[in-house]
Structure 1
Amino acid sequence: MGLEHRWSQFLEAVKTEIHATSMELFELLAPVEEAQDELVLSHPSEFMAGVCAETSMNGMIFDMVVAHWPGDPPKRVRVIYRPSEVQPERATLPLFQRPSDTAPPAPRPVAPPVASRPSIGSPLNRTMSFQAFISDNSNEEAFYAAERFAKLEDAAHFNPLYIHGQSGTGKTHLLHAIGNHVNKCAPERPVLYFTGDQFATIIIDHIRARRVDLFRSATQLEGAVVIVDDVQLLANKTKTIEELFNLFNWHRLRGAFLAFASDLPPGDIPGLSERLASRMSEGLVLTVSTPLYETRVAIAQTWAESLAGSRDVFDAEVFELLADLFNTNIRELQGAVKRLNLRRELKGLDHLDLATARQMLSVEMAQRQSKSPEDIARIICEQEGVSFEKVRGKGRTTRLVQARMWICGLLREETTLSLVEVGKLLKRDHSTVHHSLGRYEKHLETPAGQARREALRRALRAN
């Protein structure tokens, strides 16, 4: 099978996996050679060949080739510049827009050759839908707002939408779900999705090429939905922030819909201009926090089902262990489920019990227990303004009871201690610890409780 034929097969396979925007990029690439585990591709635009070779776009191309290459995939992909005497005929639709399934596009002027107008933006992850998102008190407001926002015609009070919270709490999933819903229900609307680092890289590349005007013309699309993730990565990047402000203003003045996500609220991002921060805040700003314990268990079960076809390949206690160990970042939890399932398959096990799972996760468990349980308890006592000795005593003042509650909850999240072991540390029986954990979970249903937990976690990491 020749290289040209394999490339054609690859294009057919990838066509169903990515948005039409990214497909334009792959259709302009041409195979040059495949040798020594390296696939060499060419692009007819010198500028875009450089972008593909030096930015995060190269990683996206490589990932798609590895996933869909017919036969053994290459270990490296390199993009070079090779001019084409005849530019390929391209559709007259603007960048990012997909043709409607039900009606032909309205006549419009013929677009310039696509080789001079690079596709900009990242493909959406089609597995990230609203149906696949597990919601609880930690994210229900953001989930509801994102669903309403994605309906567009009913989203005036939600626009612009800004979601912030620590890494691994579902912000990216909600943004992709918005984009996927718009692509499905309003395919005539262009969806522009960027990550903060990709947006900065694209701006830098265009500045170097002295073609910022090219970026502006490619992104100024009527009726677009603009989505920018990880806005905090633009901190102190003055020129990039200026271009984001221009993009925001151009679309906002035309009634477009804009959604953002960040680890920080708009006003806390260093170097973000006051005018941009205020515009981002004029719609709806919402916070997401770490999902509750039961939700983490459900997420782990869902991932096990998607990987192995059934959650029954893991003992119920294994999901509880995972939810305890990986309690601050859902990406880490999902990664742990994948590693456990891989290790189960390598050992040829049909079922994974708790003891075997503990052995398989021994490294992760050791890393999580770098502080002793007593160290954790003493740090919490210091933050709560009480002594560890009094917490272990018989006192029942509000501050002592509150400190015991936080110690019980965080020891269960930060260590693998059993209820009995936590009770021994605090000189309490396991039923008292169980009662404290019930109060702890109830406390986390409030924004104040979630904020206090995050503050205590930061203190644990800082000490």
Structure 2
Amino acid sequence: MKKKGLSLLLYTIYVKIIYILYDHCGHVIYTEKRIENMDSLQELWTLFLSSLLEKNLVSADSYRLWLESLELKELTATEAKIYVPQAFKINILKELYTELIETHFSAMLGFPVKVFFYHDDMQALPILELIPNQSFEKHSVIATDVLLGQGYTFENFIVGTTNRLAHSACLAVANRTAQGYNPLLIYGDSGLGKTHLLFAITNHIHKNTPDSKILYVKGEDFTNELVNILTQKKPMQYFRDKYRSVDVLLIDDIQFIAGKSATQEEFFHTFNALYDDNKQIILTSDRPPKEMKTLEDRLLTRFEGGLIVDIQPPDLELRIAILKKKAEQLGIDVPNDVLFFLADRIKSNIRTIEGAIKRLNAYSFLGNGVIDMNLAKQSIADLLERPVSTMTKVEQIFDVVSQKYNISVEDIKSAKQIKEITFARQVAMLLLRRVTELSLDEIGKLNGKHHSTVMYAIGKMEEKIKTNPSFEFEILELERELKK
């Protein structure tokens, strides 16, 4: 950044901070003298770090150990790139300090910024928009060199029996776009590696054909961007040119467009334009297309016209492999009995598995450095999965429904026919059927109902899900709550 540009940016920061101080009527955090004397990014950064100590947001020991050596190398209107001299600190900083720094540095600057940590062996280049010469809205193009440098590659995607097909399909698409599997749709629960594969494809294509126009967007952002254009009465051609001029379009969590008529209409025509022009389309979802009840049939047939592959939760062998790989990356030696213990108890998703090793590393580093079974149990006790009995899960379902609809558990289980109570009771029956392995008879006994009544109630709720996207989302949120 040139000196003139830096001065302008720091002046802007100065104005924003003085405005914030004035707006808060004398709630002084930083003095005007300290701010206006800055002439470098590092002075700004030093001022920020000092403020964390002054406000007791970090202890003196934590400050010296983790923050004191950090250097602010680049600051834009949306992000701050922070150099970490010691590579081993990066994962700990990401895990434990990202939110703290983003929250308070943004407050100091007066505008929100995302924080990126990097070391000499990682790329920290300015953001590279892979579609040049267009002013895209925030979050539209996030396939950047920063992301490409943070490990989203095929090489460090650990392959096992539960994700082998998805990995092979993505690699084939990355090597030969639009020549085989088009569209490619990957589905599976959150935290199993779908987004990793999308960025691995982006990384691979960008490395081998850097002139390719690649666009990654989340399904929710695609929808929100379209809504903004419609409500603000912006030209639709802007939106269409953006999405229909790419070589590769990747949409994460495509299920968010289901039930949204205008979004599905626009995506249908975008899909056709890209497909007819022999461009690659890659999608992810948390479920197969046929289970997206409010997805239009014309989109369903197009999705099913390509290749659909799933990613299942990792089996024991894959979980052990992931734990070993993560331990190697962090440079720590984890005994086999600890690895097996973690792999046996943490089964839900890869993100949780990786988080377990990071926390184990942090506790070890801050303690006596010895990693054993006692430390494993102590450091990640809240992550360990414990078997939940069917009756415990049943009570959880009644409790969650009770809290959601403000109906007591006693009323839900009663024979009362008040409309609101009946509705909550039917939702509970639906969740009992979906989340547990109870039969219709067993569910009926919990509510004093015949199994035919349970079947009718569940059918009624399923029908409502098909015709009411907001209710479908409501049920999905309840299911997610029960999985916590």
Once the two structures are superposed, what CA deviation does each residue of 1:353-405 show, in whole Å capped at 9, x if it has no partner? 1111112222333xx337359979xx9xx9599xxxxxxxxxxxxxxxxxxxx
Q: Residue 284 and residue 6 in structure 1: after superposition, are their counterparts in 2 closer, same or farther (change >3 A)? A: same
After superposition, the C-alpha distances for 1:27-67 in whole angstroms (9 at most, x for unaligned) are: xx997215368x9xxxxxxxxxxxxxxxxxxxx98884264
Q: Is 1:229–2:246 an aligned residue pair?
A: no
Q: Which residue of 2 aligns with 1:371?
A: 388
For 2:198, the equivalent position in structure 1 comes to 175
Rounded Cα–Cα distance in structure 2 between residues aligned with 1:202 and 1:277: 23
Question: Which TM-score applies when normalising by structure 1?
Answer: 0.58
- What's the counterpart of residue 210 of structure 2? 187
**Change beyond 3 A, Cα 1:374–1:265:** closer
- Provide closer, same or farther for how the CA distance between residues 384 and 363 of structure 1 changes in structure 2, counting only shifts above 3 A: closer
Aligned to 1:362, which of 351, 360, 381?
A: 381
Residues 1:301 and 2:324 are matched in the alignment: yes
Gap change, CA 1:203 and 1:78, over 3 Å in 2: farther
Q: 5 Å matches for 1:55-454?
A: 64-65=79-80, 67=82, 74-76=105-107, 78-79=110-111, 96-97=130-131, 114=134, 118=137, 120-123=140-143, 125-126=147-148, 127-152=151-176, 156-211=179-234, 212-221=236-245, 224-306=247-329, 308-310=330-332, 312=333, 314-347=334-367, 349-365=368-384, 368-369=385-386, 371=388, 383=437
Query: For residues 98-132 of structure 1, what are the alpha-carbon distances to aligned partners after superposition, in whole Å with 9 as ceiling and x for unaligned?
Result: 6xxxxxxxxxxxx6xx55x5473323532111101
| 1:276-333 CA distance string (max 9 Å, x none) | 1211111111111011111111111212222x324x1x22222222212220211111
Measured in 2, the distance between the counterparts of 1:235 and 1:62 equals: 34
Q: Distance in 2 between matches of 1:316 and 1:7?
A: 55
**Secondary structure, in 3 states, of the residue corresponding to 1:210?**
coil
Q: TM-score, normalised by structure 2?
A: 0.56
Letter in 2 for 1:96: L
Task: Supply the distance in 1 between the matched residues of 2:307 and 2:223 (Cα, whole angstroms).
Answer: 25
Distance 2:289 2:168 in 1: 21
- Check whether the contact 1:315–1:351 (CA below 8 A) recurs between aligned residues: no
The answer (yes or no) to whether the contact 1:3–1:31 under 8 Å persists in 2 is no
User: Any idea what SS the aligned residue of 1:336 has?
Assistant: helix
Q: For residues 63 and 372 of structure 1, do their structure 2 counterparts lie closer, same or farther at Cα, with a shift above 3 Å needed?
A: farther
Is the contact between residue 344 and residue 350 of structure 1 (CA under 8 Å) also seen in structure 2?
A: yes
The alpha-carbon distance between structure 1 residues 30 and 75, as it changes in their structure 2 partners (threshold 3 A), is: closer
Q: CA deviation at 1:95?
A: 6.6
Alignment partner of 2:131: what SS? coil
Give the direction of change, closer, same or farther, for the CA distance of 1:75–1:277 in structure 2 (3 Å limit): same
The whole-number CA distance in structure 1 between the counterparts of 2:189 and 2:291 is 13
CA contact (8 A) 1:195 1:228 kept: yes
8 Å contact from structure 2 (residues 185, 283) kept in 1: yes
Between the aligned partners of 1:315 and 1:247, the Cα distance in structure 2 is 52
Alpha-carbon displacement from aligned partner over 1:245-278 (angstroms, at most 9, x marks no partner): 2221111110001111111111222322111121
Given that 2:219 and 2:257 are in contact with CA atoms closer than 8 Å, whether structure 1 keeps it comes out as yes
Once residues 83 and 253 of structure 2 are traced to their aligned partners in structure 1, the CA distance between those partners, rounded to angstroms, is 28
Between the aligned partners of 1:61 and 1:163, the Cα distance in structure 2 is 34
Call closer, same or farther: CA 1:244–1:121 in 2, change over 3 Å: farther
TM-aligned CA deviation for residue 189 of structure 1: 1.0
Distance 2:230 2:366 in 1: 49
Cα shift at 1:156: 2.3
* 8 Å CA contact 1:196, 1:228 repeated in 2: yes
Q: Determine helix, strand or coil for the equivalent of 1:162.
A: strand
Which letter maps to 1:33? I
Whether contact under 8 Å (2:258, 2:296) holds in the other structure is no
After superposition, the Cα gap between the structure-2 partners of 1:320 and 1:213, relative to the gap in structure 1 and judged at 3 Å, is: same
- Once residues 7 and 253 of structure 2 are traced to their aligned partners in structure 1, the CA distance between those partners, rounded to angstroms, is 34
Q: How far apart, in 1, do the equivalents of 2:275 and 2:206 lie?
A: 20
> Which 5+ residue runs of structure 2 have no aligned equivalent?
18-28, 36-74, 86-100, 113-127, 394-431, 440-478
CA contact (8 A) 2:143 2:215 kept: no
**Structure 1 residues 2, 279: closer, same or farther in 2, change over 3 A?**
closer
Q: What secondary structure is seen at the aligned counterpart in 1 of 2:382? A: helix
Query: Quick one: distance in 2 between partners of 1:254 and 1:305?
Result: 44
- In the alignment, the residues of structure 2 paired with residue 177 and residue 340 of structure 1 have an alpha-carbon distance, to the nearest angstrom, of 27
Q: Distance in 2 between matches of 1:260 and 1:135?
A: 20
Q: Distance in 1 between matches of 2:173 and 2:11?
A: 41
Amino acid aligned to 1:248 = F
Alignment-mate amino acid for residue 140 of structure 1: R
Contact 1:152/1:257, CA 8 A, preserved across alignment: no
Q: Do the aligned residues in 2 keep the contact of 1:232 with 1:263 (CA within 8 Å)?
A: yes
Contact kept, 8 Å, 1:318 with 1:357, in 2: the verdict is yes
2:77 and 2:249 map into 1 onto residues whose CA distance is: 26
> Offset at 1:3?
9.1
Q: Counterparts of 1:122 and 1:234 in 2: how far apart (Å)?
A: 20
Letter in 2 for 1:346: L
Aligned length: 309
Report if aligned partners of 2:143, 2:214 keep a CA contact under 8 Å in 1.
no
Find the counterpart in structure 2 of residue 424 from structure 1.
none
The change in CA–CA distance for 1:270 and 1:384 in structure 2 (over 3 A counts) is: closer
Counterpart AA for 1:305: E
Q: CA deviation at 1:243?
A: 2.1
Task: Check the 8 A contact 2:153/2:199 in 1, yes or no.
Answer: yes
Q: 1:208 and 1:3, CA in 2 relative to 1: closer, same or farther beyond 3 A?
A: farther
Secondary structure in structure 1 of the residue aligned to 2:80: helix
Which residue in 2 is equivalent to 1:406? Answer: none
Assess if the C-alpha contact under 8 Å between 1:160 and 1:258 holds in 2.
Answer: yes
